[in-house]
Amino acid sequence: MERIFKYPVPVTDFFTLELPTNYRILTVQIQYGDPYLWAVVNDEYSNTEALFKLYGTGSPIDDHGERYVGTFQLRSLVFHLFHVQKLK
């Protein structure tokens, strides 16, 4: 069954999340002062590792086949989350 789940987003350059295969990312936002990612998932599927890259405003952007997910503000900093399709 498909459901919407949320996952904590660590504030680090690269990170992975364990998500059921065929996940669909919806958004990234702040809730109660912490960043979270929301995705549509089917918990009947086995998990896969999803790779993400977090950039601060003004940081150089690498080309890792990334897809923009969203922007969030944390205290006085602004971060931009990308889903990495493949590493080069």
Name the CA radius of gyration of the chain, rounded: 13
Task: Put residue 44 in one of left, alpha, beta given phi > 0 → left and psi -120 to 50 → alpha.
Answer: alpha
**Residue 12, Cα to own-chain centre: how many angstroms?**
11
Rounded to an integer, the average pLDDT of 11-21 is: 95
Confidence of residue 80 (pLDDT cuts 50, 70, 90): very high
Alpha helices by DSSP H, listed for the chain, are none
pLDDT score at 52 = 96
Q: What is the pLDDT of residue 69?
A: 97
CA distance 41 to 87: 23
Residue 86 pLDDT? 53
Q: Average pLDDT of 10-18?
A: 95
Q: Residue 21 is encoded by which pair of tokens?
A: 């295969």
> Mean of the per-residue pLDDT values for the chain?
93
